[in-house]
Amino acid sequence: MDIEIRFLGTSAGVPTAERNVSSILVRRKGESIFFDFGEGTQRQLFNAGLGFGKTIRIFITHIHGDHILGLFPALQTLSLFKRTSRVSIHGPPKLFTLIDYFIEYIENDLPFELEYNPVYDGVVFDYGEYVVRAVRNSHTSWSFSYRFEEKIRSWSFDVYRAVRDGVPKSAWRSLAEGRDVTIDGRLYRAKDYIIEGAVHRRSIVVSGDTMPHEKVVELSRDADVLIHESTFLDELRDRALLTKHTTAVQAAEIAREADVKILVLTHFSARYRDVSHLVSEARKIFPATFSAEDLDSLVIPYVKRFPHVLESG
């Protein structure tokens, strides 16, 4: 199953004619995993032709308006949609007080459960097939970077053989978990449908707003995709230091040190209508650098890695 990243907002601080404020959506197996939820995020979601998803998990990096103010109207929209499935929200503890005030003052009892998950430095949220790790960065006193990472497996289920053999789909999960299944008198042995080897553990890091920070470097180590804020050109490094942000060059230096595969720059100052100069600066240091544009899609494919591939490096 592929993982898709959708950039719903790539501007810093304020929306522009071309860019909305911060929000990143990771879609995996029908789950919608949001990182930040700035003003207008739900409109961007609909502009992209996407829905909220059956499973919604929202991770907030810090409590600045351009990262959270789309959350409140989205909750009201989900209420109008008569959603009943739980919505999980992760973020600095003060965020939950704000949400409770909102719900109280609009006098709207939500028809779904809100699950609050306070974020602290080093916390790990385990969702079975993947985990999300958080580290405190250097922007505000309660500001975090996140790493989404699948758990590694030593085997994978051979879908192609299952289809060839006419194995009913109702049996696939049991076989994949190593249990034999008998259907209509026919025995299907799990060992016949398990491929030994490893499934590539895909990982995505979202920096949030931050100055360059060693914890973010370590969090990003060997990631498939590092999505890092790139608020300024390097000529404004002093401005970046003052506001606790990062330049494109600094983001590239982090990507190089962490040995990531791809760097995606986002969170651009509204002063830059054309961000090609930021990308050019960064590529001198880390060639695999790209800029995020609103509604861009980036797909990380599902790749099986077999023993002979692992041995060859």
Output helix, strand, coil percentages for the chain, rounded to the nearest 5: 30, 30, 40
Cα–Cα distance for residue pair 283/291, rounded to 1 Å: 11
Residue tagged 């600094």 (tokens): 250
Find out whether 119 and 91 touch, Cβ atoms under 8 Å.
Answer: yes
Instruction: Determine which one of 36, 66, 158, 209 is catalytic.
Output: 66
Cα–Cα distance for residue pair 171/158, rounded to 1 Å: 13
Residue tagged 């032709």 (tokens): 49
Cα–Cα distance for residue pair 256/260, rounded to 1 Å: 7
Type of residue numbered 249: V
Q: Is 66 a catalytic residue?
A: yes
Main-chain dihedrals φ then ψ at residue 309, nearest 5 degrees: -70, -40
Type of residue numbered 29: K
* Residues designated as active site: 66
